[in-house]
Amino acid sequence: MKKIQISPSILSADFSQLSSEIKKLENGGADMIHVDVMDGHFVPNLTLGPPIIKALRSHTKLPFDVHLMISPVHKYIKNFSDAGADIITIHPETTDSLIDSINHIKDLGKKAGVSLNPKTEISVVEKYLEKINLVLIMSVNPGFGGQKFIPNVIPKIKELSRIKKDKNLNFDIEVDGGINFENSKSVIEAGANILVSGTTIFKENSGDIKKNIEILKSI
């Protein structure tokens, strides 16, 4: 089994001090930084774009795990790559050609991820699993932090994990949305190796980031 990694979502950080929030995450043992990009169109919320990612790039050595919830996504991929994204994850619904967008991300030298909404089937991504670096399973409907985990994504994580083993593939399985100390164990046991978390990491134990990351990693 791969080592469990934590990708804290800065959606729950203090946006007026993002550089120090990112330092705190780095010092607290985060493995990467999850950046939720929302367009007010594919999802009903608006967040941030390439200029902020670029401004933050020099403030941490951790990889930027950029989750694009924007449509159409293809024409903006290079902007996020140039800004300093290391992993670029897209939703299949936001591009005319998923394979072209995956190839574009990889041609830019970045890791390519595909994200599946709770209702999006694994079959949408199945034929690209050899090519991509990561599948991001959404355990809430994307758009907002602080939502409740949808437990029926657990069988989906198990199914993806089974396909990965059967085909002897190496992509990461990342799970995003409503992860807390109660459900993290079952998510990891189902086969996830990267957990995204905003609310739990920034708010539990009076915001003790290091402690919260340690608890999420332990199963």
Residues of the shown chain interacting with Zn ion in the complex, contacts defined by CB under 5 A: 36, 67, 176
Cβ-closest position to ligand DX5? 198
Residues 19, 56 contacting (CB under 8 angstroms): yes
Q: Which of 39, 100, 176, 208 is catalytic?
A: 176
Residue 89: CB minimum distance to Zn ion, A: 8
Cβ-closest position to Zn ion? 67
Comparison of 60 and 180: residue with beta carbon closer to ligand DX5: 180
What is the Cα–Cα distance from 154 to 52, expressed in whole angstroms?
A: 33
Q: Which of 36, 39, 65, 172 is catalytic?
A: 36
Residue 110: CB minimum distance to Zn ion, A: 17
Residue 47 interacts, among Zn ion, ligand DX5, none and using kind-specific CB cut-offs from 5 to 8 Å, with: none
Residues 101, 77 contacting (CB under 8 angstroms): yes
Reply yes or no on whether 176 is catalytic: yes
Comparison of 169 and 219: residue with beta carbon closer to ligand DX5: 219
Comparison of 83 and 137: residue with beta carbon closer to ligand DX5: 137
Residues of this chain that interact with ligand DX5 (CB under 6 A) are 9, 11-12, 34, 36, 67, 140, 142-143, 145-147, 176-179, 196-200
**Alpha helices, DSSP H, located in 6-97:** 18-27, 50-57, 77-83
Comparison of 39 and 176: residue with beta carbon closer to Zn ion: 176
Residue-wise DSSP of 48-61: --HHHHHHHHTT-S
Reply yes or no on whether 86 is catalytic: no
User: What three-state secondary structure class fits 215?
Assistant: helix
In angstroms, the Cα distances linking 172 to 3, 53, 112, 134, 188 are: 10, 23, 10, 4, 12
Residue owning tokens 């941490």: 60
What is the Cα–Cα distance from 30 to 27, expressed in whole angstroms?
A: 7
Residue 12 interacts, among Zn ion, ligand DX5, none and using kind-specific CB cut-offs from 5 to 8 Å, with: ligand DX5
Q: Which residues are catalytic?
A: 36, 176
